[in-house]
Structure 1
Amino acid sequence: MAARLHPQHLARQGHVRRGGGFDEAIVKWGLEDSELFYRVFHHHGCPPDLFARDPQAIAYHMPHYRPTGELLGTLDNIRYIARKHPRYDLEAMHSPATLGQVMGKVRLYSDAVAACRSAGLGRPDVLPADVRTGIGERALVAGYGVSRLPLGPGSHTFDHDAPISETNWHRLGLMLQDFRTGQFAQFVNVDLWRFLMPEDLSLLVTKGLRKADRIVLVASHAAPDAASMLPVPFVDDVDYVARMLGARFDVSTVVHEEATVLTVR
């Protein structure tokens, strides 16, 4: 079954054209349609009811042979699209799961990013002095307002309060393939990591340690309890996370006045 734009959003060709039409740089098989309607979705401000199923629009997809090389080309398309749209919903969209699970995760992380902002978390003002002064060069820093930190050369941010740019993306840290192995001295994540599902937190740590010498997970003390955040996932037991990661990694915990800092190596 195909989908159509909800009537209130006036599904006309002009809306697709204003979204930019198909990206002609995508020349290999796969995802050109998803990328187009991803842009249409954001063009309209991401309303959850933008698309509706139209039972009269039927598409017949005939099974056919695809060479292995053609299928592998989709990976190149994923890398291209993720680089073109460096946002957290693209990270969640390409999770290894069923379509329903993926769509649920996209919605979940959209709510989580909003919850983090509304709770006043992820702010660099909670960074302890030794962490702030030790960021230095070649740092990857995630949070709200972190791009205003005096970062050194070779640094990159995931600052959700600043516009997307060449050195600032709106990711959470689940897709890091655009960075070189060992590119960063450290990956500092202020509170955003606390909103990840357990398997995605593990993914962040595993991938992050390929790109950075150490990961610094900062947990603000001025945070609501986990129950009040439901159904959004939220870590309020930092000691448990330290024990969990300590079974596989070298983890140190330092409690400061405004935040607890886990350093993972």
Structure 2
Amino acid sequence: MVFTPRTAIVTGSDSGIGKATAVALAAAGMDVGITWHTDEAGAKDTAEEVRAQGRKSFTARLDTTDLPGCGEAIDQLAAELGGLDVFVNNSGTGDGKPFLDLDFATWKQTLDTNLNGAFVCLQHAAKIMVDAGREGRLIAVTSVHETQPRVGSAAYTASKHGLGGLMKVMALELGQYGITVNSVAPGEIATPMTDQTDEDPHQASRPGIPLGRPGDAREIAAVVAFLASPAASYVTGASWPVDGGMLQMGPQGGSHIVSTDWLEA
């Protein structure tokens, strides 16, 4: 039988990439559990968009720095959904502090949000899938900085490197249960996290990105939806950059480059 996902949870789906992903999975025929940290109104808006696709939606507050208690929100949503076929770990934060200025409290909050909390939530989701005895999809939204460092992002880069490595180990260990594990690594995406809530990425200029603009959250969601689909049944342990070619510019590429001089031979 072909695996056909019917239920999904997307963390941090009150806005940005998470919201776009929840709506994309609903359009693909899934009921969706939505989590929020501070923006309950945003989560309710996402839920309404999911329901507009004719699917069920449930919401829960999730604080990934609440360790290890944050996994309870995943258990709750899976119970309300009646199962869990797809889990998308999207919750994350950044701090932008250089290494010498980085205080331990900020380091810990970033690592707890992006890596330790992700571990707890992914493990809860995986156990639900294994106990159900059927296939599943685990997907993490990481970053291009999963593989490349960036000046001024010591904690963020460390957390995304760690999450990318965790996903690869999970792919090795969970394949025996028919569970695929993959990452999606966005570049600069126009979202609230990058202070571009209302910006049309197609109208913005980014000379340091080969495609010349930031990405749209829906462009990330489309790749997540593919990895969650039956069409991706033989894809696991992979990290999919969705970055307009940013990684080809090297670790300091992207928004720091303000001209197209690099294009000249």
TM interval, short-chain normalised: under 0.3
- From the CA coordinates, give the structure whose radius of gyration is larger: 1
Superposition TM-score, scaled by structure 2 size: 0.24
Superposition TM-score, scaled by structure 1 size: 0.24
More helix by share: 2
Higher RCO (CA-CA < 8 Å; seq separation 6+):
2
